[in-house]
Structure 1
Amino acid sequence: MVAALNNSAITESSTDEAIADAVRNIGNNDSTEVQNFANAFTTQALTKNPKLDATANSGKLGDVTFYEFTGLDSGYYLVYVTGGKEIQSSLVTVDADTTTVNLKSETPSINKTADKTTVNIGDVVTYTVKGSIPDTTGYAEYAYKIHDELTKGLDFVNNATGTACTDNKVAVKVAFTNATDAGKAPTEATLDAENNRKMSLDLSAWIRANQENKGKEFTVIYYAKVNKDAEVTNNNKASLEYGNNPNDTTTTTPSEAKTPTYPLDILKKKAGIAGATTEKLAGAKFKLYSNKTDADKNDDTKAIKVSPVTTGVAGNYVVDPTSSTTEFESVENIERKDYNLRVNGLAEGTYYLVETKAPDGFNKLTAPVEIKITKSTDTDVNKWTISKAGTVETDKIIDIENSTGSLLPSTGGRGAIAFAVIAALLVFGVAVSFIRDKRKEA
């Protein structure tokens, strides 16, 4: 306490009464001085070797926001709370049945973000976790660990180019936003040997070495690649484990970053009367483009690359930047599905579907079909939409129709059916007129 007073008139040989008077006089006109003394006294209490014994200790409070010390003698007490971003202290006089002390403490936390809000299979996502250096005064074993777990559609990689991880390690970049590192930041995190989509980064020693940067923000950057198992509910969750005692830590609520990817489900069917039984068509082949000019030219070098989920089996495909295949083919039926062709792994955006081959006996589409995928605007990622030629498909399935005969439908929609019916009526009218003219000549 003598050192914390920073008062030349008070020494180790000063009487208890003199020290008490000095403490009381601190706050006569300056509450800031009182707080500075409380903070300095707390540091002395926590770092003195051996540590000063506390009169009473609440232990770990967890989610409790109130604690009552009972059986205290009258006197002057230092009350402090640890385990937060900063150690909070207060000086209080106990001279009544009940005395209340309000201490504000903000627990350590992290926030995780991704550089992409929707993804294609094959994309590399950059994740940034932000935190700040907590006050670990007096706790030589303070623990601070970041844990992250990916869903099955993501794999940890070492950099933005997608270099694979080895030896159950993944590269990380730890740096201050606006401070000089007083320690040596880790460059690798550990992957779980049983599940390489679980990562653990131990920053405990680094946090303790950077106490001169208490309260300063730092970032942790790492990467994950979207794989063929990606889905709309792609996400990963980062949580923080921290505490004064490594054997009794607290884990925060996970901070989640969502990176959905979307399927293109196609019902390839025979053009017919509305309400009639749908006849699914196998053998139709398509290519998909993200640019209309490329689609109009049917430029194979610009088409989105795909690969079948099962080698040699049509109907179910995924986006695959490493593939040489750009064409995908419908099948007669996919069990328990209302579509007969799927391409999974597309980011939000506008695409153009080009039919390159119609089923035998049917006419090929003469123009690309515009398809637009729009991500959800709220927290429920499943509220995404897909539209064809500006019309939202409520069942999230794109209907592509083919007709038979010499008339070529342009976009595979019901308009082609109407056009065919009108054309047939016109031909019938011309035939009737021709017969009448022949009769007149006879």
Structure 2
Amino acid sequence: MKHARKFASLLLALVMVFAMAATAFAQDVDSGSAGEGTITITNAAKGETYTVYKLFDASVSPGGDSIAYTGDIPGALTDYFKADKNGYISATAAAKDGGSMSEGLRAALKEWVKTATESVYAVSDGSALNFKGLDYGYYVVTTTQGEQAISVDSTMPDVTIVDKNSSTPSNLEKKVDNGNVNIGDTVTYTVSFKTSNYDGAGPDAKKILSYTIEDTLPDFLKNVTVQSIIVDNDGNAGTTGDQTNVTAQFAEKKITIDWYDEASNHFLYDNGATVTIVYSAVVTDKAAIDGAGNTNKVTLTWEKEGDPDPGKLETEETIYTYAIALKKVNEKGAALGGAVFELPFYVEETPDAADGAYIYAGTTQGTGLINRLTTPDDGVITIKGVAAGDYEINEVTAPAGYNKLLNPVIVTAVKTGETKTQTVFYLDENGNVVNQATATKVEYVNNNIAAVAVLVVNKTGIELPFTGGMGTRIFYVAGSVLLIGAAVLLIVKKRMNAEK
């Protein structure tokens, strides 16, 4: 036996927590073997199933200074264990991550125990759990909380593990697929949390009967539809483990999932299972523009047997939408009405009565929707409910007497964190926007919403001739001048010829 106590220490380093203390109250489980080894699990979660799998045999030298591990290495574990020519097994570097079990080995053990046949298991009553009569060997202990690898031999026949169990539900999370939205967009929320069958530790733990998820679902959301509710019994959200689909929709903004069946006196799902709820909703024109955004809170509560005070966790998620605006002026800064602009999207034909802004309505034409807007007398057009980004707006008709813009107007919606707007622009004597406070001052003010604004300047056009007006008189005058000039030239020429 070449494997000394140093190798035993290496394997023991894979144990998550060791303790050597005995426990006054315990739940004994007979392994069915005639061995002398014992594995004790303290702080066992009430209602949790603990399973002990034997991976390798162990033998100890007469002096107790050397331990050897033998047996067959499963194919799924060949990257983590190796055997020498005498058949003695040791751990590879891939099995360790510092002083802990590597994530690779942990994942490999999880797969191996699915097909392992030599095991003993028990459901904890909340007291210490003693697996007795075990043969010496290298064991893997599993729960829904994880795996622990330990060695039981004559030098340490009684091993105690302090379980890091979760005695209350935890890890409540809420996420949205897109926090930057247009009014009318469909957003998808995902809420997940890790469950526990009991609240508390030991014999005093309270049985959890049900879980309730409540979302505030404010009026900036409508058409709320639950897409899926999945209880993942292997405890890992998003994996393809032992999953159960639950069918339910929000009723009075709540969803309740029964967790314990009192008729059959058993839990419906595993301790430590992960619950994931996916639901969609449409963003309405009640959404706040910019500012603090649009937040909806989710609250998780759980009903405990014999306890009128439910447990509770809370979290929230926020989505944002914005507004854009333009102000039409001449080169002197005076407001211009009558300019027609074409948008790259549609808006509701009638502006919001509360703030005067047009409401974003998507990119598809429909009844009551328009994509051409005419500036009123104050020259201002405001549009709310757009996502952050660049928008290209084209002038299709200029005000009478002004040149139409040759290039589109670009306005960029960004988050400002404000709830109202006061934007100042300055124009030089030629009507160009400049950065100098001594020039002509022009303001865009909106006390109701925050809008990213641009100043659009039209300059006076050159009047072209038209029938019946000054244009024909210009032609008459010009023609007369030409005739007089020709007559003078003719007279001068005749006199010159006569003098010759």
Could you tell me which of 166, 187, 204 is aligned with 1:125? 187
* TM-aligned CA distance change 1:286 to 1:216, over 3 Å: same
- 1:279 paired residue number: 334
Q: Quick check: 1:340 aligned with 2:396?
A: no
Q: Per-residue displacement from partner, 1:380-420 (whole Å, max 9, x unpaired)?
A: 68799x9x9xx99998321111222229xxxxxxxxxxxxx
* TM-aligned CA distance change 1:3 to 1:288, over 3 Å: same
TM-score, scaled to structure 2: 0.48
Aligned residues: CA RMSD: 4.6
Q: What letter matches 1:404 in structure 2?
A: T
Could you tell me which of 252, 255, 271 is aligned with 2:313? 252
Q: What does 1:127-276 correspond to in 2, within 5 Å?
A: 127-136=189-198, 139=206, 142-158=209-225, 171-175=226-230, 176=232, 177-178=238-239, 179-181=241-243, 185-190=246-251, 192=252, 199-205=253-259, 212-230=269-287, 231-232=289-290, 233-245=293-305, 247-253=308-314, 255-272=315-332
How far has the Cα of 1:121 moved from its partner?
1.6
Q: 2:181 aligns to what SS in structure 1? A: coil
* TM-aligned CA distance change 1:180 to 1:115, over 3 Å: same
Could you tell me which of 29, 51, 54 is aligned with 1:6? 29
How many residues align? The count is: 284
Q: Is 1:315–1:330's contact at 8 Å kept on the other side of the alignment?
A: no
- 2:140 paired residue number: none
- 2:343 paired residue number: 288
How far has the Cα of 1:352 moved from its partner?
0.5
Q: Per-residue displacement from partner, 1:112-155 (whole Å, max 9, x unpaired)?
A: 11111211122100111111222238756633111112343221
- 2:376 paired residue number: 331
CA distance in 2, matches of 1:374, 1:330: 23
Fraction of identical pairs, as percent: 23
* TM-aligned CA distance change 1:328 to 1:235, over 3 Å: farther
Q: Is 2:219–2:286's contact at 8 Å kept on the other side of the alignment?
A: yes
- 2:459 paired residue number: 403
Q: Is 1:109–1:240's contact at 8 Å kept on the other side of the alignment?
A: no
Q: Is 1:133–1:207's contact at 8 Å kept on the other side of the alignment?
A: no
- 1:368 paired residue number: 408
Q: What letter matches 2:458 in structure 1?
A: N
How far has the Cα of 1:327 moved from its partner?
1.0
Q: Per-residue displacement from partner, 1:357-379 (whole Å, max 9, x unpaired)?
A: 22233222111122222347xxx
* TM-aligned CA distance change 1:127 to 1:261, over 3 Å: same
Q: What letter matches 2:40 in structure 1?
A: E
How far has the Cα of 1:244 moved from its partner?
1.4
Q: What letter matches 1:239 in structure 2?
A: T
- 2:483 paired residue number: none
Gaps of 5+ in 2: 1-23, 49-125, 129-143, 146-163, 200-204, 233-237, 426-433, 436-443, 445-449, 464-500
Q: Is 2:328–2:457's contact at 8 Å kept on the other side of the alignment?
A: yes
TM-score, scaled to structure 1: 0.53
Q: Is 1:351–1:372's contact at 8 Å kept on the other side of the alignment?
A: yes
How far has the Cα of 1:257 moved from its partner?
1.9
Q: What letter matches 2:318 in structure 1?
A: K
* TM-aligned CA distance change 1:121 to 1:269, over 3 Å: same
CA distance in 2, matches of 1:226, 1:127: 12
Q: What letter matches 1:5 in structure 2?
A: D
How far has the Cα of 1:250 moved from its partner?
3.2
Could you tell me which of 316, 322, 333 is aligned with 2:357? 316
Q: Per-residue displacement from partner, 1:24-53 (whole Å, max 9, x unpaired)?
A: xx9xx97x6141xx527x559xxxxxxxxx
**Greater fraction of residues in strand:** 2
CA distance in 2, matches of 1:2, 1:406: 101
Q: What letter matches 1:229 in structure 2?
A: K
Q: What letter matches 1:284 in structure 2?
A: A
CA distance in 2, matches of 1:156, 1:207: 32
Q: What letter matches 2:336 in structure 1?
A: L
Gaps of 5+ in 1: 10-25, 45-76, 80-84, 87-101, 159-170, 193-198, 273-277, 290-303, 334-338, 408-442
Structure ID, larger Rg: 2
Q: What does 1:24-103 correspond to in 2, within 5 Å?
A: 33-35=40-42, 38-39=43-44, 42-43=46-47
CA distance in 2, matches of 1:106, 1:312: 50
* TM-aligned CA distance change 1:271 to 1:315, over 3 Å: farther
